[in-house]
Amino acid sequence: MKLTLRVWRQKNADTPGAMATYELDGVSQDMSFLEMLDILNEELIVKGEEPVAFDHDCREGICGACSLVINGDAHGPERTTTCQLHMRSFKDGDTIDIEPWRASAFPVIKDLVVDRSAFDRVIQAGGYITAPTGSAPEAHATPVPKADADYAFEHAECIGCGACVAACPNGAAMLFTSAKVNHLNVLPQGSPERETRVLDMVSQMDAEGFGGCTLTGECATACPKGIPLFSITSMNKEWLRATRKVKR
Amino acid sequence: MASTFWQSTVGKKIVMGVTGLIMIGYLVVHMVANAKIFFGPEEFNAYGHWLRVMGAPVLHHEWGLWGARVILLTSVILHGVSAYQLSRRDIKARPEKYVHSKPRMSYATRTMRWGGVILGLFIVWHVLDLTTGTVHSGGFQEGHPYQNVVDTFSTWYGNVIYIVAMLAMGMHVRHGFWSAAQTLGAGNRTRDRAFKALANGLAIVLTVGFISVPVGVMTGVVS
């Protein structure tokens, strides 16, 4: 395959960036999208140019490190992570636009790499449970109904990649925050912090400069893990419940 | 408690949801009452008079009416101020556009902000036209709403402003009602089809119901 790539190049956070065009030949249909970028970088290094910086880690679709907005879609045209996207999703001769996540809470560090530590601070605000340390607890000590376990697992699938923020026209982090809140709030292990969790995580989310939800549904469409849009509805419900229970 | 709501994006959206539902409730009553215009001037004018003595003998003359006006005005202001503040925040949260971007949201969703502004301006015109009579086309007659409505819809611009605003209202209600269900935590997977159907049904019934009045005047059914 022969491709024309238009890639966002930006030296650092303080320098304005721009799209740069590269021609790439000899791309196999079986390559992943990131392997295709590896080939581009090898060519750039041979030519003595600066390689394109992009985030990646496990390349198995489970770590949440890879990002990229490909032709306007977070993680590209397939419902998966960029590392699990293959070049067979594109045609010979295609022009592909590659951009970083865009949100003021996710500033660009270099080229396609953005700073997602705002997510870490949202987790620190309440994405944990209080549990005694030591040996593993007896598995049957705290029974969890099957339906609740399934619900928690559906939301626990969130890998925190930030595609929801990238796809949202308001740069909102509602789907990420709601996935984390619902995952723990439905379980008995998470119930001691049920109210403070949702209030603190929402308020940290606001403090990080993410936008608000207008229910466009773009986040759930972009999510590689299929976190449902109703996750946001459930978080709103939890938030309303918590404001009634907690006096601040 | 109040500051928790007002400082949070989630809380402000809940304020928008509740005030939006109050206004939708009012629209339904307003539309049903409008239908009285098809039964002649006596019935319609008598209804206009009843609005002033609503709640009698418990309530003094026009107290019920002013109570409703205060609730509606408060709703419009809270809804508008929340929308303005949240929109400012949203625009700031996504300062840079994608080079490769495509419009994917539905038309109703994309036009919520400007549609809301159009509706705000329409409400001002509508009150100045048919409540105070300040910008009324013919000679505005206090206590003769039937004739005033016929006068307004006998001008081309009266019809254009009204019909455009009602189409904007229909779209605003379509996304707004369903969104309110999510914001207030009522939506879920099993109820979603019902909420979507209810939102679409409300939007269509309200739009057709309100537009039937200028159409009635234009076709001579109401004169």
Return the closest-CA partner of residue B183 out of B2, B13, B23. Answer: B13
- Facing residue for B93 by CB, picked from A97, A104, A240: A104
A104/chain B closest Cα distance in angstroms: 5
Q: What percent of chain A has pLDDT over 90?
A: 93
Q: What percent of chain B has pLDDT over 70?
A: 100
Indicate the domain borders of chain A.
3-109, 116-245
Task: Give chain B's end-to-end CA distance (angstroms, integer).
Answer: 53
A144-173 as b/e: b if 16+ CB within 10 A = eeeeeeebbebbbebbbbbbbbbbbbbbbb
B4 → chain A, closest CA residue: A243
- Residue A100's pLDDT is 98
Return the closest-CA partner of residue A176 out of A64, A100, A75, A77. Answer: A64
- Predicted confidence (pLDDT) at residue B79 exceeds the cutoff of 70: yes
Indicate the domain borders of chain B.
2-98+105-218
Convert the pLDDT of each residue in A96-119 to its tens digit. Answer: 999 999 999 999 999 999 999 999
- Cα–Cα distance between A209 and B156 in angstroms, integer? 47
Residue A211: strand pairing partners: A172
- Predicted confidence (pLDDT) at residue B198 exceeds the cutoff of 90: yes
Q: CATH assignment of A3-109, given 3.10.129.10, 2.60.40.10, 3.10.20.30, 3.30.70.1560? A: 3.10.20.30
Residues of A in contact with B86 (CB under 8 A): 211-212, 214
A228 → chain B, closest CA residue: B189
Question: Quick check: B183 and A215 CB within 8 A?
Answer: yes
- Cα–Cα distance between A169 and A74 in angstroms, integer? 12
String of DSSP letters for A34-70: HHHHHHHHHHHHHTTPPPPP---S-SSSSS-----EE
B133 reaches A (C-beta below 8 A)? no
Convert the pLDDT of each residue in B80-135 to its tens digit. Answer: 999 999 999 999 999 999 999 877 778 889 899 999 999 999 999 999 999 999 99
Q: What is B2-98+105-218's CATH number?
A: 1.20.1300
- Cα–Cα distance between B84 and A135 in angstroms, integer? 53
- Facing residue for B185 by CB, picked from A104, A210, A234: A234
What is the residue type of A28?
A: S
B199-219 as b/e: b if 16+ CB within 10 A = bbebbeebbebbbbbbebbee
Residues of B in contact with A176 (CB under 8 A): none
The dihedral through the CA atoms of B47, B48, B49, B53 has a sign that is: positive
Q: How does DSSP classify residue A137?
A: P
- Cα–Cα distance between B76 and B71 in angstroms, integer? 9
Residues of B in contact with A226 (CB under 8 A): none
Residues of B in contact with A103 (CB under 8 A): 93-94
Residues of A in contact with B100 (CB under 8 A): 69, 71-72, 97, 99
- Predicted confidence (pLDDT) at residue A248 exceeds the cutoff of 70: no
Return the closest-CA partner of residue A85 out of A48, A31, A9. Answer: A31
Instruction: Tell me the angle at which helices A117-124 and A174-185 cross, rounded to the nearest 10 degrees.
Output: 30
Question: Quick check: B95 and A243 CB within 8 A?
Answer: no
A201 reaches B (C-beta below 8 A)? no
Q: Which helix (H) or strand (E) holds B176?
A: helix B156-183
B111 reaches A (C-beta below 8 A)? no
Task: Give chain A's end-to-end CA distance (angstroms, integer).
Answer: 61
Centre a 10 Å sphere on the Cβ of residue B150 and count the other Cβ atoms it contains: 18
Instruction: Tell me the angle at which helices B9-34 and A194-207 cross, rounded to the nearest 10 degrees.
Output: 90
Question: Quick check: A69 and B95 CB within 8 A?
Answer: no
- Cα–Cα distance between A80 and A225 in angstroms, integer? 7
Return the closest-CA partner of residue A170 out of A211, A215, A203. Answer: A211
> Is-contact B5 B14, C-beta < 8 A?
yes
What is the complex's ipTM, to 2 decimals?
0.92
A56/chain B closest Cα distance in angstroms: 21
- Residue B56's pLDDT is 86
B5 → chain A, closest CA residue: A243
Convert the pLDDT of each residue in A59-105 to its tens digit. Answer: 999 999 999 999 999 999 999 999 999 999 999 999 999 999 999 99
- Residue B137's pLDDT is 84
- Residue B3's pLDDT is 82
- Residue B107's pLDDT is 87
> What rounded mean pLDDT belongs to chain B?
95
Is there a shared CATH topology between the A3-109 domain and the A116-245 domain? Answer: no
CATH 2.30.130.10 fits A116-245, yes or no: no
Convert the pLDDT of each residue in A134-186 to its tens digit. Answer: 888 888 888 999 999 999 999 999 999 999 999 999 999 999 999 999 999 99
A204 → chain B, closest CA residue: B8
Convert the pLDDT of each residue in B47-72 to its tens digit. Answer: 999 999 998 899 999 999 999 999 99
- Residue B218's pLDDT is 95
B45 reaches A (C-beta below 8 A)? no
- Residue A135's pLDDT is 87
Residues 108-167 of A with CB under 8 A from B: none
Convert the pLDDT of each residue in A188-238 to its tens digit. Answer: 999 999 999 999 999 999 999 999 999 999 999 999 999 999 999 999 999
- Cα–Cα distance between B186 and B192 in angstroms, integer? 9
> Is-contact A65 A122, C-beta < 8 A?
no
- Cα–Cα distance between B159 and B122 in angstroms, integer? 12
- Residue B1's pLDDT is 66
